[in-house]
Amino acid sequence: MLYSQILKIFWRVFLIILAIAFMVFAFPYIKDVLIMFIIAWLLSVLLNPLVNFLEHKGLGRGWAILIVMVLIFIIVGFSFSLLIPRIIRSAGSIISKLQSDVITDFSLMIENFFEKNFNNAELGRNVTAKLNEIGIKLLESLGEFFKSVGSLLASIIIIPFITFFLIKDARRFKRAIISQVPNRYFELSLNILHKVENQVGKYIQGQATDALIIGILSILGLFIINLAFHGPVPYFVLIGMFAGLANLIPYLGPVFGAVPALIIAILNNPPNLGLVLLWIVIVFILVQAIDNAFVSPMVVSKSVNMHPLTVVVVVIIGGNIAGAMGMLFAVPFTGILKVASSQVIWGIKNYELRHPSRVGENLSKKNK
């Protein structure tokens, strides 16, 4: 009895190690597919409420998914054919601008500033070099990110395809997975799975809504500045989108969001530069105020509040692992982990796992 149990445990551990080894070995080959799956999963999490809503309104689930998928195709097709080439082009021209002579003027300005105020030109040089480096890295990795997801054309077709089946068959996949769980852990696993799914879904939906609103508000603000000052901030759509994404990082995000707008305005060097810069700062502060006062409290779940120190540490680690993209998605990723682990801990605390088959044991004793 004991021997067979030990053998059983040995086989389980062996299989798990084998699976991990296989994944490590296969990772380079499946990386692209994995990224596509993650994007499709995120899309399915974001679109599922829409499908459920249409179903709630009386549509069949098949029709609901079909309508939402057509919407995705339009949006994805539109963004891939129009937006992304433009983003890559403007990212390219921003990079070349950063590397051109204008940047030296800007660097000199900062160096002078540091020399005047701190009597330390070296520090100024370091700061500009670092700024330059970060800016270029950020934009390059943005371009690379879009290129690396297989070939673009393949992604356009494959991602919606995966998304479709993730939405359509999510329940069946879940049932198939849960059907493999031993009876003893069945309710626990099912309950945790539901709670994690629910909380993580809410978290992702909240973050996405927040990023979208901040992006739109930033674009709007910069657009108004452009109207008022005869276009001192070109690429404002790209900058606004970036600000929305950067908002995924609490505390640091708003600063990351405003810096590109400020740099581009300085590079563009309009006649009343000081006033323009002031207005850009005001716009971003205003957007932040609106976010903190109205948007965030409504859409972002409170359970994922992170200490500023955690945010900084996580952002640095994310940056080390996957560059600028890592920095951007480090906090949401940690948020997902935090939400999920809190649910797992809840389950372990509330289900009686310490005496796994107490009742059954007593009964079998009695039957004997």
Q: Which residues of this protein are in contact with other proteins, per CB under 8 A?
A: 52, 55-56, 61, 165, 168-169, 171-173, 175-176, 178-179, 183-184, 186-188, 190-191, 194, 198, 350-352, 357-360, 362-364, 366-367
Q: Is the dihedral of CA 288, 291, 297, 299 positive or negative?
A: negative
Closest distance to other proteins from the beta carbon of 22 (Å): 17
Nearer to other proteins, 115 or 197 (CB): 197
Which residues have a Cβ under 8 Å from the Cβ of 113 and sit 6 or more positions away? 124
Closest distance to other proteins from the beta carbon of 10 (Å): 23
Closest distance to other proteins from the beta carbon of 218 (Å): 34
Nearer to other proteins, 297 or 356 (CB): 356
Closest distance to other proteins from the beta carbon of 160 (Å): 16
Cβ(319)–Cβ(238) under 8 Å? no
Nearer to other proteins, 93 or 362 (CB): 362
Nearer to other proteins, 118 or 186 (CB): 186
Closest distance to other proteins from the beta carbon of 165 (Å): 8
Nearer to other proteins, 119 or 183 (CB): 183
Closest distance to other proteins from the beta carbon of 181 (Å): 10
Nearer to other proteins, 58 or 271 (CB): 58
Listed residue (187, 133, 174, 176) closest to 356, CA to CA: 187
Nearer to other proteins, 20 or 353 (CB): 353
Residue with tokens 């309104």: 57
Q: Tokens representing 105?
A: 């003027």
Closest distance to other proteins from the beta carbon of 211 (Å): 26
Nearer to other proteins, 56 or 116 (CB): 56
Closest distance to other proteins from the beta carbon of 201 (Å): 12
